[in-house]
């Protein structure tokens, strides 16, 4: 898969989901004191985000989309080939402390140790009975997981074809800490003029 195809079919849909989440923050601010807040809007977000996370983890695990699979298979592959994912830190816009969305994810208890995944399944199979699982903390963590997986996929596909490894439009909610890219977005460049009118480019 080339960069353009990935951006069109996966990254752009991530941005759609992110915008839905941003809209929800007009009513429930992203703050730890609100993490247990649940709502019908969060039900919708959990279902949409969880479904896309399923799709992208399958893609990262090299499993055909038409093939039946589960979270255990994703954990077996991803934690073997990308073990650093469990320590990967994500900065959240407006919050001081970064989060590790895959922290504690364990091959032996894959569905229980990925924060938000059990809630996704509970809501999917019993929206009314399990509405309290549709809370901000789980929505935020699932979206952060999706953001991380999308970045691993972008790096994977662009490295294969030696293409630019940055999206055309980046996230407005998250940024990856200590994430190496071969290219730097123009917005992150700083230009400084010297006394000799030379230009120094920094990041």
Strand partners, 175: 91
* pLDDT, tens digit, 9 for 90 and up, residues 20-55: 999 999 999 999 999 999 999 999 999 999 999 999
Q: Return d(Cα 70, Cα 7) in angstroms, integer.
A: 25
pLDDT score, position 192: 67
Do the Cβ atoms of 139 and 42 come closer than 8 Å? yes
- State the Cα angle at 201 between 198 and 203, rounded to 5°: 160
Taken in order 56, 58, 64, 69, the sign of the CA dihedral is: negative
pLDDT score, position 189: 72
* pLDDT, tens digit, 9 for 90 and up, residues 71-99: 999 999 999 999 999 999 999 998 889 99
Do the Cβ atoms of 109 and 15 come closer than 8 Å? no
Q: For residue 54, give the nearest of 75, 72, 71 by alpha carbon.
A: 71
């Amino acid at each position: 898969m080339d960069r353009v195809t990935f951006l069109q079919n996966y990254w752009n849909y991530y941005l759609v989901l992110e915008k839905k989440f941003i809209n929800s923050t007009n009513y429930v601010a992203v703050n730890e004191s609100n993490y247990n807040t649940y709502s019908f809007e969060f039900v919708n977000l959990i279902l949409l985000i969880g479904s896309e996370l399923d799709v992208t983890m399958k893609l990262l695990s090299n499993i055909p989309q038409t093939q039946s699979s589960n979270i255990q298979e994703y954990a077996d592959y991803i934690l073997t080939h990308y073990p650093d994912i469990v320590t990967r830190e994500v900065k959240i816009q407006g919050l001081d402390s970064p989060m590790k969305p895959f922290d504690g994810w364990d091959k032996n208890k894959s569905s229980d140790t990925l924060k938000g995944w059990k809630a996704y399944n509970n809501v999917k199979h019993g929206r009314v009975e399990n509405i309290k699982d549709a809370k901000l903390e789980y929505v935020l963590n699932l979206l952060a997981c999706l953001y991380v997986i999308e970045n691993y996929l972008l790096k994977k596909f662009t490295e294969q074809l030696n293409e630019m490894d940055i999206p055309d439009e980046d996230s407005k909610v998250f940024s990856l800490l200590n994430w190496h890219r071969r290219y730097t977005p123009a917005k992150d460049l700083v230009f400084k003029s010297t006394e000799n009118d030379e230009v120094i480019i920094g990041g």
